[in-house]
Chain A
Amino acid sequence: MIIKVLLSIWMAVIISAAFLYAGAAAGFPGQTSRILFFHVPQAWIATLSFLLSMIASCIYLARRSVKTDHLALSAAELGLLFCILATATGSIFARATWGSFWNWDPRQTSIVILLMIYGAYFALRSAVPDPEKRRVFAAVYSILAFVTVPFLVFVVPRITASLHPENTMNPAKPGMDPKTLKVFLGSLLAYTGLFVWMLRLKIRLLRLEGRQEPEFVISEKLKQEGEKG
């Protein structure tokens, strides 16, 4: 509980610092560069979520534990949510700097393909009625879907000409303003904390839903009978 309260305060501090402490980056119209503190952490969380979903899916296929399926599903859901948020904030930046919300820039196109790939993950899950088969198919699909992530997120936008800023706003490159860097790293930390909080809530919710499922009731009864016998 204390950690969650601290995280809430930390996020509020980061939001305030993004507007009051860090300066606007040179070479960008007005205050548009401040979107860096929100857009990049959202994209980072989306990538992290898809990676986590893939790892959990691998573990599920090896151990067939429902808990890991819950983790894979929760991570994929949050990944899709943060991917949509990153696309939305990116579009706001595009409107202010490139003149239009959508330009079919390689970065925008690759993110749409990624959204469709992970959208299909949920379509697949809802299309298979048998829970065991659904988990296996989803796990295999999640692993295959993640193969495209490094290609679509890191490779495609870098091998093609893109309007997306790389050098001026990339924290990995030297020369970033120290104040901006501090707020940016703080924002990454806050978003990661928020992701962990949301992920845990989603897993707990899935576990509760699982207890209502008939297959869970049957397996619990079988377990109880096994213990008696």
Chain B
Amino acid sequence: MKEGLNFVLGVNLIIWFGIAFYLFVLDRRIRKLEKTSQDV
């Protein structure tokens, strides 16, 4: 049971860090676009 729980925990953490990484990348890209559109 403990191993199963650790596996689910691992999967959840991987999913979360994937989402967080995507949000950070998106944030960065939007900031770049905002800068570009302000310059124009």
Contact = CB atoms under 8 A, between A and B. Distances in A.
Interface of A: 4, 8, 11-12, 15-16, 19-20, 30-31, 197-198, 201, 204-205, 208, 211
B37 A208 contact: yes
Nearest to B36: A208
Contact of A4 (B1, B4, B24): B24
Contacts of B24: 4
23 contacts: A4-B27, A11-B16, A11-B20, A12-B13, A12-B16, A15-B9, A15-B12, A15-B13, A15-B16, A19-B5, A19-B9, A30-B1, A31-B1, A31-B4, A31-B5, A198-B23, A201-B23, A201-B26, A201-B30, A204-B30, A208-B30, A208-B33, A208-B37
A128 B9 CA distance: 45
A197 B33 CA distance: 18
Contact of B27 (A12, A16, A201, A208): A201
Contacts of B20: 8, 11
Nearest to B9: A19
A26 B4 CA distance: 19
Nearest to B15: A15
Interface string B10-25: 0011001100100110
Contacts of A30: 1
A20 B2 CA distance: 9
A208 B13 contact: no
Contacts of B34: 204, 208
Given A8-B20, A11-B20, A31-B5, A16 B26 contact: no
Give 10 nearest A-B pairs by CB, closest first.
A19-B9, A8-B20, A15-B12, A204-B30, A208-B33, A19-B5, A211-B37, A11-B16, A15-B13, A201-B26
A58 B37 CA distance: 30
Contact of A19 (B8, B16, B27, B37): B8
Contacts of B26: 201
Contacts of B37: 208, 211
A16 B27 CA distance: 26
Contacts of B12: 15, 19
Given A4-B24, A4-B27, 17 more contacts: A8-B16, A8-B17, A8-B20, A12-B16, A12-B17, A15-B16, A16-B9, A16-B13, A19-B9, A19-B12, A197-B23, A201-B23, A201-B27, A204-B30, A208-B30, A208-B34, A211-B37
A12 B12 CA distance: 9
Nearest to A8: B20
